[in-house]
A = this chain, B = another copy of it.
Amino acid sequence: MLRRHLLAALAALPLLAGPLAPQAAAQELIVEKKSFEIPRFVTQNGQPIPALRIGYQTAGTLNGAGDNAVLVAHFFSGNSHAFGRYTAGGPPGYWDAIIGPGRPIDTNKYFVIAADTPLNINTRDPNTITTGPATTNPETGRPWGMGFPVMTIRDFVETQKKLLDSLGVRRLALVAGASMGALQTIEWAAAYPDMVQRAMSVIGTDRVDGWIIGWLELWAAPIRLDPAWNAGRYHGSTTEPVAGLAESLKLVTLHARDHPWATALGTRFAEGQDPRRSVTERFAMEKWLDDAAMARARVSDANHFLYLIRANQLFLSGYDSPEAALSRSRAKWLIVPSVSDRVFPIEYNRRLAETLRQQGREVDVVDLEGPLGHLEGVVSMAKAGDAIRRLLAN
């Protein structure tokens, strides 16, 4: 779901086009990656984390009242690069189609902030700044490893709240996010109902139930099978569980897509291989998944992946029920599901919209359709542009 991965997909196959195509240079929005440090963060479970750092980027200008801010939260394998380019001609952010000057989330009107979460998996990406098990614990001088405290989606919200406070933001005209970003959006609306005027949940879910908990565990399982994982004690060692992490990322990669996407590779054999000859010879699809996942694994961290899975499993765990959490919201909502989503199925989104309506919230829904399943919410958001404009005008 990472932008890098989408670009790898583009390089490998003519499967994605349009939303990621370079825009005219005149429209280019240049953004700068910055760092924010919280001297002492205390998790939802009461554990302190000294010197918690996260990266962020902004566009536009905060008004005097501090109430024209928009917060964008990222998906599982993403980072703050939702909009703009770090260098002229560089790759755009994943939601660049809807964020920028004159776009649905108009940076001429709004002060738009996007932050990296703690536990971000892209630890070797120079444009990601995060804190987690791979980070050096300033109190010991060694990587935290499995001694890092469990964090939750609600904790992510608290890191963002402190960042917004530091920037002078008083009110959020909109909180928005795709997938894990939608989970952050919902936690935001429940935690700070007076601060969140509007909320946009894209390819999200109203709950992480036993079934989703199980799937998230299945994503994590390959890491633990890799002997190089070594019960999480590999930071600083020469061998890291890259093979296990790659298998985990392979699951994420395929789960986030729907079957029409696979038509281009189809049942072809990998070049020079014949799967009828030996079970070790590969179909083109197997080879593509191998290569895409390994490229992602090389810039990611396995323990961050395990911790991020747990954060998602604990979505809304601070509330008696999903309904109790949602009932705290005072926001106007836009729900954008993908009809063929295999990760957070459409019915979870339908229930989210229905619950909010029953609780008296204004709710608009825009269904995305396309071959990419879950990923439609990352790459096809231009289709929701009009609805986003309506939401912000409301």
Contact = CB atoms under 8 A, between A and B. Distances in A.
B208 A267 contact: yes
Contacts of A64: none
Contacts of A266: 209-210
A217 B290 CA distance: 10
Copies in the complex: 2
Interface in A1-60: 44-45
B279 A307 contact: yes
Interface string A265-281: 11110000001111110
Contacts of A215: 254
Contact of A267 (B213, B280, B284, B309): B213
Contacts of A268: 210
A215 B259 CA distance: 10
A91 interface: no
Contacts of A213: 262, 267, 283, 285-286
A212 interface: yes
B283 A210 contact: yes
Task: Find the residue from A146, A226, A247 having the highest chain B CB count within 10 A.
Answer: A247
Nearest to A251: B218
A373 to B, nearest CB: 10
A150 to B, nearest CB: 6
Given A146-B279, A279-B307, A225 B208 contact: no
B275 A310 contact: yes
Given A209-B267, A262-B209, A277-B45, A285 B150 contact: no
Contacts of A264: 210
Given A209-B259, A209-B262, A226-B225, A214 B289 contact: yes
A314 interface: yes
Contacts of A258: 211
A247 B214 CA distance: 12
A263 interface: yes
A314 B269 CA distance: 11
Contacts of A317: 267, 276
Nearest to A265: B210
Contacts of A285: 210-211, 213-214, 217
Contacts of A374: none
A247 B222 contact: yes
A244 interface: yes
A217 B250 CA distance: 10
Contacts of A277: 45, 150
A228 B236 CA distance: 26
Closest 3 CB pairs of A and B: A210-B262, A211-B259, A211-B262
28 contacts: A45-B276, A146-B279, A146-B280, A150-B276, A209-B259, A210-B263, A210-B265, A210-B268, A210-B285, A211-B254, A211-B258, A211-B285, A212-B259, A213-B267, A214-B254, A215-B254, A217-B289, A218-B247, A218-B254, A221-B222, A221-B247, A222-B225, A222-B247, A225-B226, A225-B243, A267-B317, A276-B314, A276-B317
Given A210-B284, A211-B261, 8 more contacts: A44-B276, A209-B263, A209-B266, A209-B267, A213-B285, A225-B244, A259-B345, A275-B313
